[in-house]
Amino acid sequence: MVELSGSVLLLDPVLSPAGGPLYLQLKRWIEAAVEAGAVRPGDALPSERDLAAKAYVSRVTVRKAVQHLVRDGVLIQRHGSGTFVAPQPRRVEQSLSQLTSFTEDMARRGMAVRAVWLDRGVYPPSPEETIVLGLSAGAQVARIARLRLSADTPLAIERAALAADILPDPEAIESSLYAHLGRRGNRPVRAIQRIRAANLGEADARLLEVPAGSAGLNIERISYLASGRAIEFTRSIYRGDTYDFVAELRLDAQPHNGPRR
């Protein structure tokens, strides 16, 4: 265990009355030290008294800054031991140019993954599922919901709905949904995916082991067969501190021959 009384604290934080609330300035200073690698996961923070003396602020200000950092998952507090830099999960990059399953994507990176099943069964569809999947009257949907983990770190919650004639046996899925669909000749070949920022609600945050209100990514995917039929409607929530989505962009090399305006 390393206490932050060394190099990282050789320089005093620069706090200014004109720089906004002092606790936010102190919070940003500690965050910057963590992000720069000046302090490492597991390092112990100096005592509240020492931080207050070094930053020339009250202990109340220090306490408020630390509380916000704990809430944001940057620090953790252990009763009777002190305050420590929280473990930083390994970030994962996922390409937006290929249609792959979570299991396939992680396998390419050599990362072991597992799933905790939250639900899988056949149900009457919701109005939204009926429209998106183009279901006829009386049709049912197979729903699966999984918590995805790597090295015991929760990464994402996946909730998928598929027409029951495409996935009549959701209980038979082993690790990869797409591999299971492929064995039945129903693997999708293209998808439309929408990504938006979100703050995690209490239930999802609890499953992902982060504080409620933490940053997340909501991902909605509609996948299609070669025939054009929509077969999968998936809504996932990813931890914002573990995932980077990457897209390669190319400049159109074709000259524009249309009329100039």
Asked if the structure places residue 257 within a domain, the reply is no
Closest by CA position to 55, among listed 78, 24, 86? 24
- Helix intervals (H) in 56-187: 59-71, 102-108, 127-133, 177-183
Domain finish residue from 37, 59, 85: 85
Transcribe 109-121 into DSSP letters.
TT--EEEEEEEEE
CB 129 within 8 A of CB 222: no
Share of the chain above pLDDT 90, in %: 39
Region 204-208 average pLDDT: 93
The residue segments making up the domain with residue 230 are: 92-246
Q: Is the pLDDT of residue 215 over 70?
A: yes
CA angle 65, 66, 67 (to 5 degrees): 90
Per-residue tokens: 17: 């009355």
Whether residue 159 sits in one domain with residue 111: yes
CATH number at residue 108: 3.40.1410.10
pLDDT of amino acid 258: 58
Whether residue 181 sits in one domain with residue 125: yes
Whether residue 133 sits in one domain with residue 221: yes
Q: What is the pLDDT of residues 83-116, one digit of tens each?
A: 888 876 665 656 566 666 666 666 665 666 788 9
Q: Is the pLDDT of residue 206 over 70?
A: yes
Q: What is the pLDDT of residues 31-60, one digit of tens each?
A: 888 877 778 888 888 888 988 888 888 999
**Helix-, strand-, coil-residue percentages of the chain, each rounded to 5:** 30, 30, 40
Asked if the structure places residue 134 within a domain, the reply is yes
Region 242-251 average pLDDT: 72
How far are the Cα atoms of 28, 217, 241 from residue 197, in angstroms, in the given order? 22, 5, 12
Whether residue 118 sits in one domain with residue 78: no
pLDDT band at 205 (very low <50, low <70, confident <90, very high): very high
